[in-house]
Amino acid sequence: MSGTLLYAQSGGVTAVINATAAAVIAEARARKIKVLAGRNGILGVLREELIDTTKESAAAIRALAHTPGGAFGSCRVKLKSLEADRARYERLLAVFKAHDVRWFLYNGGNDSADTALKVSKLAAEFDYPLTCIGVPKTVDNDLAVTDCCPGFGSAAKYTAVSVRECALDVAAMAETSTKVFVYEAMGRHAGWLAAAGGLAGKTADDAPHLILFPERPYDEADFLKQVKRVVDRVGYCVVVASEGIRTADGNFVADAGGNKDSFGHTQLGGVASFLAGRVKDSLGLKVHWTLPDYLQRSARHLASKTDLEQAMAVGKAAVQYALKGMNATMPVIKRISDSPYRWKIEPAPLEKVANHEKKMPAGFIRKDGYGITAAARKYLEPLIRGEAPPPYGRDGIPNYVELKNPIVRRKLADWKE
Amino acid sequence: MSGTLLYAQSGGVTAVINATAAAVIAEARARKIKVLAGRNGILGVLREELIDTTKESAAAIRALAHTPGGAFGSCRVKLKSLEADRARYERLLAVFKAHDVRWFLYNGGNDSADTALKVSKLAAEFDYPLTCIGVPKTVDNDLAVTDCCPGFGSAAKYTAVSVRECALDVAAMAETSTKVFVYEAMGRHAGWLAAAGGLAGKTADDAPHLILFPERPYDEADFLKQVKRVVDRVGYCVVVASEGIRTADGNFVADAGGNKDSFGHTQLGGVASFLAGRVKDSLGLKVHWTLPDYLQRSARHLASKTDLEQAMAVGKAAVQYALKGMNATMPVIKRISDSPYRWKIEPAPLEKVANHEKKMPAGFIRKDGYGITAAARKYLEPLIRGEAPPPYGRDGIPNYVELKNPIVRRKLADWKE
């Protein structure tokens, strides 16, 4: 087949999005298809900054599968409707034509699925033969249709293992020092990662003792009562709090500090910092807290093997769907059974994915609102199963690859917004 | 030999202090010596809450070597001078006598070495035959005499790997999103862990681009200028900041926010939060930050093999020294050569360790104050070398052991302070 395949990464990166990229490139190479990559995602396409992946060795592409971050650069650029952003969509098409791009693979979340869908519509309008494929990725696990999102399982494993480890630390210190520990998990709208923290323990006295979900209103009086109750019973209390929790009136708890300190400087505290302060002020207990932030989504050293396999499987399937002309689709993960955990990849129409958001099922949150149910555990546990550590160098650090990322010669005039 | 060996953990726990405990117990068992452990460190000795380790299986003790936290509980209790704290020291001796304790192994930092030393003096005063051994442990790496401290290498490896990973994330996002990332490392008085973050990169453009050490005064104007310069040159900037940095007038930067938010609530922001706010306010750049807190010292999943081996070696040597009656000593690590890295254990007098603090050599900090030197790299790099992952369960989480920790029957009256 003649023509070029263009791959681009979008939105927040993950521990395994490069594994998807590696699978895309390997599969395309096996079929003698040239792969270009957008430098910094769709922005690189608009700017005609296209990376020539053919210059990378097979070893570098294999190493890409164990390297976190986004090797070609990602971006946070959301295109609007075809009408509102007409000029940008037409520019994309012009770049595709100039480089004989026949297959466009956009690796991201809801927004990216939407962009891929719109590009495919515009191409049809102009009778330009283009197959657009959305490739799923997000640590937030909020994509519709797919059973889970590549990237989530590894962040979930990081969360569960980290909560388990810091809980052992707190348990040892609690008698004379720290009695409460707060772990802040990503998840602005859905509590998937906070729920994964629940996998750290099995019984009521195991950490985490309390999980705060964005799906439930934050009730400070009740929360503090619960903390005190756990400390009285267990001797210490480990809390996993989702960054997105809100009070009953809809305000983010993370904003409750007013975002300014007493000197008028911007205060970037977040939820864990705030909750820790409340526990200290109200209960007088010594408290520590952690905000892992990007560490939780870039910890390739602690990737889930299940997640890695799924990230590579969607990459491979994306190329296969593209070459079959299965336009406006996304390879998604379908769960066949929980125990043993079995899954397969199947195509889903981008229409069903774009701009939808998968909420966590209500049945995943315990009735009291502070923990996960057996149903949640059954869903989550297979996703963090298995280890896939990267190779380490003599320097004690993983051998993460840095690509050469040469830009192909431009053929069009400069792009101005 | 007849008599009991008492082991206790002290101060902040580490990823490998239990490995030291495992080595102590295994070595004592091989010599048919009974080991009791203080529940929550020295506090358990005062309270006569002594854990009978003979009830644990050999498999449980082996598993202890890959379990983070402090399996018998630790504590933050510092005994004062023999005069000021006479009653407590005499209580310790009374408990030792009641349980035929002939060997006391205290696993901790400077303070613990001091306590072990004082107990040994009191025992001599009362003609009670007791051998006291200090066993080194601290993520802060600030113990005198020993080349490095068990616990530090694993926290250092966590720091270097985490900085490397989040830097790859920021690099991918920088064009349209986060341009500055601040990582807060433990180290109230010395910048050892911040320096370890320097191992994440090799060249000037590699992250971390700036390291803030407590050994150098924090100059805000210069720091912000440096951040801007790095962003202009590299496109993004990763900062590792030690929690203990101070301004020229000696105030902790972590306290600069006033510790209250605009609502008068306690604000537990820390250094990274503060620096991130300053970067945002002054440079207008999008910034993310992380406070790993306890995660950095409990991440047994990412332990350094060198560190693990040293933690076990000091435990084994401590028992050997004890049984040889080498009173008031500590097994320390002596570096024989850098390349290849070779080390051995040798005894050091507790007098030389107690209440001393090892500072980071001035030659480890780059002249401009924002990075590490080749000498620092030569010292640090072997300490994070090698991997020693714990076994994982089918649930995707390491198989950390929970001991039974039965308390032996008490023989004395209650202890009241």
B122 and B204, same domain (yes or no)? no
Q: What is the dihedral of CA A199, A200, A205, A211, to 10 degrees?
A: -70
Active site residues of A: 140
Binding-site members of B for diphosphate are: 12
Q: Is B81 left (phi over 0), alpha (psi -120 to 50) or beta?
A: beta
Instruction: Say if residue A357's pLDDT is above 90.
Output: no
B52 and B107, same domain (yes or no)? yes
Of A279, A291, A193, A202, nearest to A236 by C-alpha is A279
Instruction: Say if residue A2's pLDDT is above 90.
Output: no
Q: What is the pLDDT, as a whole number, of residue B267? A: 62
Q: What is the pLDDT, as a whole number, of residue A264? A: 67
Establish if A379 belongs to a structural domain. Answer: no
**The one-letter amino acid at A333:** I
Structural element, H or E, at residue B295: helix B295-298
**The one-letter amino acid at B410:** R
Q: Which residue has the tokens 């550590």?
A: A389
Place A325 in a pLDDT band, splitting at 50, 70 and 90.
very high
Instruction: Say if residue A265's pLDDT is above 70.
Output: no
B70/A291 CB distance under 8 A: no
Structural element, H or E, at residue B152: helix B152-173
Cα torsion angle, A30, A34, A40, A45, sign: negative
Establish if B380 belongs to a structural domain. Answer: no
A30 close to A2: Cβ distance less than 8 angstroms: no
A321 and A290, same domain (yes or no)? no
Instruction: Say if residue B136's pLDDT is above 70.
Output: yes
Instruction: Say if residue B349's pLDDT is above 80.
Output: yes
d(CA A350, CA A338): 26
Binding-site members of A are: 12, 110, 138-140, 186-188, 243, 294-297
Q: Which residues pair with A407 in a beta bridge?
A: A51
Domain boundary among A298, A314, A342: A298
Q: What is the 3-state secondary structure (H, E, C) of chain A?
A: CCCEEEEEECCCCCCCHHHHHHHHHHHHHHCCCEEEEECCCHHHHHCCCEEEHHHCCHHHHHHHCCCCCCCCCCCCCCCCCCCCCHHHHHHHHHHHHHCCEEEEEEEECHHHHHHHHHHHHHHHHCCCCCEEEEEECCCCCCCCCCCCCCCHHHHHHHHHHHHHHHHHHHHHHCCCCCCEEEEEECCCCCCHHHHHHHHHCCCCCCCCCEEECCCCCECHHHHHHHHHHHHHHHCCEEEEEECCCEECCCCEHHHCCCCEECCCCECCCHHHHHHHHHHHHHHCCCEEEEECCCHHHHCHHHCEHHHHHHHHHHHHHHHHHHHCCCCCEEEEEEEEECCCCEEEEEEEEHHHHCCCCCCCCHHHECCCCCCECHHHHHHHHHHHCCECCCCECCCCCECCCCCCCCECCCCCCCCCC
Q: What is the pLDDT, as a whole number, of residue B353? A: 95
Mean pLDDT for A386-390 is 98
d(CA A353, CA A357): 8
Opening angle at CA B13, ends B7 and B14, nearest 5:
110
Place B99 in a pLDDT band, splitting at 50, 70 and 90.
very high
d(CA B211, CA A384): 34
Place B6 in a pLDDT band, splitting at 50, 70 and 90.
very high
B299 close to B154: Cβ distance less than 8 angstroms: yes
Establish if B376 belongs to a structural domain. Answer: no
Q: What is the pLDDT, as a whole number, of residue A260? A: 64
d(CA A11, CA A367): 34
d(CA A206, CA B20): 25
Give chain B's count of helices (H) and strands (E). 13, 11
Q: Which residues pair with A38 in a beta bridge?
A: A50
A168 and A232, same domain (yes or no)? yes
Minimal Cβ distance to A395: which of B76, B300, B381: B381
Annotated active-site residue in B111, B114, B140, B307? B140
**Exposed e or buried b per residue across B358-370, where buried means at least 16 C-beta atoms within 10 angstroms of its C-beta:** bebeeebbbeebb
Mean pLDDT for B326-340 is 97
A319 and A222, same domain (yes or no)? no
Q: What is the pLDDT, as a whole number, of residue A120? A: 95
Q: What is the pLDDT, as a whole number, of residue A266? A: 65
Q: Which long-range contacts (CB under 8 A, 24 or more apart) does A369-376 make?
A: A369/A213, A369/A216, A370/A209, A370/A210, A370/A211, A370/A212, A370/A226, A371/A198, A371/A208, A371/A210, A371/A211, A372/A195, A372/A198, A372/A199, A372/A211, A376/A195, A376/A198
Q: What is the pLDDT, as a whole number, of residue B188? A: 86
Domain boundary among A356, A380, A400: A356
Q: What is the pLDDT, as a whole number, of residue A121? A: 94
Sequence-ordered list of residues with C-beta below 8 angstroms from that of B247, at least 6 positions apart, any chain: B217, B218, B219, B220, B253, B256
Q: What is the pLDDT, as a whole number, of residue B254? A: 86
A99 and A176, same domain (yes or no)? no
Q: How far apart are the first and last CA of chain B?
A: 34
Establish if B384 belongs to a structural domain. Answer: no
φ/ψ of residue B129, rounded to 5:
-70, 105
| Domain CATH for A204 | 3.40.50.460
A172/B73 CB distance under 8 A: yes
Place B352 in a pLDDT band, splitting at 50, 70 and 90.
very high
Surface of B (295-334) touching A: CB under 8 A: 295, 297-302, 304
| Domain CATH for A12 | 3.40.50.450
Place B293 in a pLDDT band, splitting at 50, 70 and 90.
very high
Q: Which residue has the tokens 């930092």?
A: B109
pLDDT digits (tens, 9 = 90+) for A55-66: 999 999 999 999
Establish if A312 belongs to a structural domain. Answer: yes
Lowest mean per-residue pLDDT among A77-86, A321-330, B104-113 = A77-86
A396/B389 CB distance under 8 A: no
Establish if B381 belongs to a structural domain. Answer: no
List Cα–Cα distances, B175 to A72, B277, B412, in angstroms. 11, 20, 68
Q: What is the pLDDT, as a whole number, of residue B78? A: 87
Pairing state between β A180-185 and A237-242: parallel
Q: Which residue has the tokens 């190329």?
A: A319
Q: What is the pLDDT, as a whole number, of residue A413? A: 95
d(CA B298, CA A13): 26
Nearest-Cα distance to chain A for B1, in Å, is 32
Domain containing A32 equals 4-138+302-356
A294 and A306, same domain (yes or no)? no
Of A129, A93, A132, A95, nearest to A116 by C-alpha is A132
A161/B397 CB distance under 8 A: yes
Of B42, B72, B74, nearest to B60 by C-alpha is B72
Which of A305, A397, A401, A407 should we substitute to test contact with B (largest number of B Cβ atoms within 10 Å)? Answer: A397
Lowest mean per-residue pLDDT among A124-133, A204-213, A267-276 = A267-276
Told to judge if B140 belongs to the known catalytic residues of this protein, a careful annotator would answer: yes
Q: What is the pLDDT, as a whole number, of residue A39? A: 98
Mean pLDDT for A2-27 is 97
Domain boundary among B356, B371, B395: B356
A211 and A90, same domain (yes or no)? no
Q: What is the pLDDT, as a whole number, of residue B290? A: 97
Q: Which residue has the tokens 């009656």?
A: B325
Nearest-Cα distance to chain A for B123, in Å, is 26
pLDDT digits (tens, 9 = 90+) for B240-269: 999 999 999 999 998 876 566 666 666 666
d(CA B43, CA A191): 40
Count: domains in chain A: 2
A306 and A293, same domain (yes or no)? no
B256 and B332, same domain (yes or no)? no
Establish if B11 touches chain A: CB-CB under 8 angstroms: no
d(CA B245, CA A288): 19
Q: What is the pLDDT, as a whole number, of residue B189? A: 87
Binding-site members of B are: 12, 110, 138-140, 186-188, 243, 294-297
A13/B172 CB distance under 8 A: yes
Q: What is the mean pLDDT of chain A?
A: 95
Mean pLDDT for B153-174 is 98
Instruction: Say if residue B115's pLDDT is above 90.
Output: yes
pLDDT digits (tens, 9 = 90+) for B199-233: 999 999 999 999 999 999 999 999 999 999 999 99
Which of B234, B251, B291, B405 should we substitute to test contact with A (largest number of A Cβ atoms within 10 Å)? Answer: B291
A223 and A99, same domain (yes or no)? no
Mean pLDDT for A244-264 is 79
Establish if A115 touches chain B: CB-CB under 8 angstroms: no
Place A219 in a pLDDT band, splitting at 50, 70 and 90.
very high
Which range among A72-86, B74-88, B300-314 has the greatest average pLDDT?
Answer: B300-314
Nearest-Cα distance to chain B for A58, in Å, is 21
Place B326 in a pLDDT band, splitting at 50, 70 and 90.
very high
Minimal Cβ distance to A262: which of B74, B168, B258: B258
Q: Which chain B positions have a beta carbon within 8 Å of A386's beta carbon?
A: 396
B75/A281 CB distance under 8 A: no
d(CA B231, CA B286): 11
Mean pLDDT for B167-187 is 97
Establish if A362 belongs to a structural domain. Answer: no
Establish if B184 belongs to a structural domain. Answer: yes
Nearest-Cα distance to chain B for A147, in Å, is 19
**The one-letter amino acid at B383:** L
d(CA A74, CA A108): 9
Instruction: Say if residue A210's pLDDT is above 80.
Output: yes
Minimal Cβ distance to B289: which of A268, A281, A397: A268
φ/ψ of residue B75, rounded to 5:
-160, 160
A252 and A119, same domain (yes or no)? no
Pairing state between β B237-242 and B131-136: unpaired
Place A417 in a pLDDT band, splitting at 50, 70 and 90.
confident
